[in-house]
Structure 1
C-alpha cells in the first residue's frame, strides 16, 4: 500500500542542519573510475546532454570494447559506462579525448550543466539556452579556480517552460522572452538567476547569463570556504553562511554585471512577474514525454526513453545512425533518461520512430516505462539489497509499476515512480514522487512530497540527500 502524503509545508518538520564534509568529493568521472561490484564505472559529463553523432559513436565503441556492452543515462543528462576492466583508464581517456569529450582533464568532473532538452526544437520554442550552456562550459574550463567545485555542483538552464528549473540546481537560470522574441532566433530576452532553494531571483541580461552563473559559483566557493563546512552544494551551507540571491548580487556587481532583485511570488518560476515588455508564450511540449516533436519549418525531433535508463550498444548505434543519416547529426540526452534526435524531415519521422520502438526503446507516452526509474541495484551495486531492475521489470509485466498490484496500491497518475535498493536512493527524482524502497522485510512504498526527504527504512537512519 502507498503511505499517506507528507504534511503540508507549514506543518512539516524542519530538516536537520547539514553535517560538515570531512572528506573530499569522490564523485566518479571519466578519468577517475569508481570501483563498482560489476567492474569499473565511468561517468562522462555531457553539458546540456549534447552529443554529435561522432561522439556518440565513440561512446558506443568504449562500451563495446572496454565495458559491458551497455550505456546508462543519468538524471543529469550524462552517460555512464559500466563493467570496465581494470587498467583500461588510459585507453578510455584516449577514446574520449579523440572524440572531443574531454576538453579539460582538470575540469571534467565539474562540467555539470543541465538544460531544457527541447529548447530550440518544439513549435513554440523559447530562447535557446543551449547556447548559454556552451558558453558556460567554456568559461568553466577556462577557470583554474573552478576545479575547486565538487563533482555534484549543478548548473541548471531552463528555457522558460519550467521543465528543469525544479531539478535541484545549485545555480539556476530561467530564460525570459524579450519584446518581439518569436523563439526562432538567439536569446533576445533576459534571465532569472536563483541559487539553491532561495525563492528570490536576480534578473539579468541574456548575454550576461553564462558569466553570471559562473560568478554565482564563485560566490558559493567563497561561502563554503568561510564556513569551514567543506560543503559540496549550496543546500549544504550552514545557516550562518547560507547563500541567497541578495548575496549573489554583490558578486555580480564585482564582475561588472547588472542585476535587479526579484522577490518570489510563488513556489515556481512561472509565478515570477515577467520582465517589462516580455511576451507571453503559448504552451510548450512536455519534454519528458516520448514521441514526435513538431518543430518550426516542418522539422521534427524524435524523443525516446531508455527503459530504466539502460541501453544496449545496438540500440545506441541505431540512435546514432538515425541522427547521422536522417537528422541533424546530433543527439541530446535528457534528465528523464531519454534521448532526443533533432532535425528529421516530417516524412521520415514516423518510420524512424517505429524502428526505435521495434528496437525496444520507449516511444509512447502512455507506456508504463514513462516516469519509471530505478537505481543500479544488484548485481552492479554491492550496497543494494536486491535486483531492483529485475523486480521493476516484473512489476511492469504484471501490469503495474509498484510492488503492490492491488488497485489501492497503484500510484497516482503522472507521478514518477522510483525503485531503490537501499536508503541512498541514488538518482531519485525531485519534487513529488513514489518511493519504492527495498528493506530487510521487503519493499516499502510511500509517497514523497516536493519539500520532504524520503523516509528511512525501519531500523535505519535517514541518509543524506542523493546528488
Structure 2
C-alpha cells in the first residue's frame, strides 16, 4: 500500500493574491501559454493523481508537464479553460484547504524520506505537522510564494545544496532526537544556529516564521533579504522557544549525501527505482506509464525529486528489469550514463520571453558532444534567473544570444554561477571544452 499522503482538501475559499509565481489557482502567462504549479506534499504523488495530471495536461493544455527543482509539477501551455483544469486537479486531491494556503506549501523532503537506509529519523510525521501549520495559520499566508522550508532526516539521498529560508536537520545527541536549524541556506554549508527536541519542531517553525513576519519589511520577502539588515544573532535572540546552543549543536555538521538518484536505489526495506524525464519534461504517456509501473511492481506512488526526476519506491526486485525496460521505452532516463542525464535546461525562448536561447533544443545537441560528466552536472540557462537549478551547478552555460553561450565553472570563491571560463561559445565549442577530462563534471 502507498504511504498516506499529507492531508489535503479541495474547495477554494478565497482568490489567490497577485504574484508572478505560478500556483494551482494562480495560472500565470508565458510565451507558450499558461503555467500551473502543483505543489506536492513532500513530493508525494499517488498513481491515480498522476493519471489525473496527465489527463488534465492533455485536455486543458499542450500536454507538457514539468518536474521542478523543488519536487513539484508544472503544467504548461494552458488554454482558456482555467477553471476546468483547476477543478480536475482539485478533484484528484492535488490542492490545499483553500487558495490562500497554496503559496506556503513549499516544504521539501528527501524523495526517500521514511525509506532511506541512512536516515536518522523518519521525518514524514513532522513534515505533516509543519504543513498543517503552514496551511492552517492565516498569518503565514502572508509569506512569499517562494518562501521555502526543508526538513532533512539525514538521508543518504538528499538535496543538500538548494537554499531554503528555513532548514531543519535531524540529529541524535545523548540518545535523544533533536532538530537543528539554520536560516537562508542549506544543510551542506549552512551554519547551525541551535536545536530543539524533536517534539518541539512545529513550535520552532512557528517561532521562526512569526519572527520573520514581525521584522521583515514589505520588500524583504525572503529570509536572506531580512538577514542583510538584521544580524542573525538578533533574529535568534528574539525567538520565543527554548534553544539548545552548546558546542555539540553549534559545531555539528551534516554528513555529505551520496546516494544515486537514477537507476536502482537501495531502500531500508526493498528497492527504489529512479527515473528522469529528459530535461525535466514529462509527456502524459510518461506519467501514466510510471503510474502503471508503480501500481504493478511498487507501492502505487511516485515521488518527485529536486533533480527533476521521479522515484518509484518499494519496487518488487523481481520486476526491476521489466520496469526499467518499460520506463525506458516511454523515453524516461533510467541510467546515469545516458547523455541527456548529464544536462539540466530551463524552458528556453520558445516558452519564456526572458530567455536568450532555445535551451531545451540546444541541450539535446550538446548532450551528443559530452563524453563524461555526472548526472545534472551541466546547466543551460536562458537568462541569469537560473529557473532550472536552485543551486550552482558544476558547469553553467548562460545564453547570450541564439546558439551562443558563456561558460561558467562552479567556484566557491566566486558569486553567481562561478568563474567565467569562456564567452560567446557555439555549442560545438562548448561541447569541446566540457568534454575535456576535468574534475568539475564529477562533483
Task: Give the TM-score range, shorter chain.
Answer: 0.7 to 0.9
Q: TM-score normalized by structure 2? A: 0.82
3-state SS of paired residue (2:332) = coil
Between 1:438-447 and 1:30-39, the stretch displaced more is 438-447
Query: Once the 2 structures are TM-superposed, how far is the Cα of residue 265 of structure 1 from its aligned partner?
Result: 3.8
1:269 to 254, 258, 263: 254
Aligned mates of 2:129, 2:239 — CA distance in 1: 19
1:150 to 144, 152, 168: 144
Q: Aligned pair 1:446/2:435, yes or no?
A: no
Provide the residue aligned with 1:292 in structure 2: 264
Provide the residue aligned with 1:325 in structure 2: 296
Q: Aligned pair 1:173/2:168, yes or no?
A: yes
Query: Once the 2 structures are TM-superposed, how far is the Cα of residue 366 of structure 1 from its aligned partner?
Result: 2.2
1:392 to 347, 356, 363: 363
Provide the residue aligned with 1:49 in structure 2: 43
Stretches of structure 2 lacking an aligned partner (at least 5 in a row): 1-16, 425-443
Structure 1 residues 213-246: Cα deviation after superposition (integer angstroms, max 9, x where no partner): 232122211121xxx352111111263324x366
How large is the RMSD of aligned CA atoms in angstroms?
2.7
Aligned mates of 2:338, 2:245 — CA distance in 1: 44
Query: Once the 2 structures are TM-superposed, how far is the Cα of residue 418 of structure 1 from its aligned partner?
Result: 0.7
CA 1:208–1:369 in 2, change beyond 3 Å: closer, same or farther?
farther
Q: TM-score normalized by structure 1? A: 0.78
Provide the residue aligned with 1:185 in structure 2: none
Q: Is the 8 A contact 1:200 1:261 kept in 2?
A: no
Provide the residue aligned with 2:226 in structure 1: 237
CA 1:284–1:57 in 2, change beyond 3 Å: closer, same or farther?
same
Provide the residue aligned with 1:6 in structure 2: none
Provide the residue aligned with 1:140 in structure 2: 134
Larger RCO, structures 1/2 (Cα 8 Å, 6+ apart): 1
Structure 1 residues 140-195: Cα deviation after superposition (integer angstroms, max 9, x where no partner): 11100011000000101112147333310110011124677xxxxxxx72211111
3-state SS of paired residue (1:237) = helix
CA 1:435–1:284 in 2, change beyond 3 Å: closer, same or farther?
closer
Stretches of structure 1 lacking an aligned partner (at least 5 in a row): 1-22, 181-187, 271-282, 401-409, 460-467
Structure 1 residues 83-128: Cα deviation after superposition (integer angstroms, max 9, x where no partner): 0002x22112211221111122211122001111122223344311
CA 1:345–1:284 in 2, change beyond 3 Å: closer, same or farther?
farther
Provide the residue aligned with 1:223 in structure 2: 215
CA 1:319–1:415 in 2, change beyond 3 Å: closer, same or farther?
closer
Aligned mates of 2:251, 2:65 — CA distance in 1: 42
Provide the residue aligned with 1:359 in structure 2: 330
May I ask how many residue pairs the two structures share in their alignment? 397
Query: Once the 2 structures are TM-superposed, how far is the Cα of residue 379 of structure 1 from its aligned partner?
Result: 0.7
Provide the residue aligned with 1:8 in structure 2: none
Structure 1 residues 302-343: Cα deviation after superposition (integer angstroms, max 9, x where no partner): 111111100110010011111223211111100000101112
Provide the residue aligned with 2:192 in structure 1: 200
CA 1:449–1:220 in 2, change beyond 3 Å: closer, same or farther?
farther
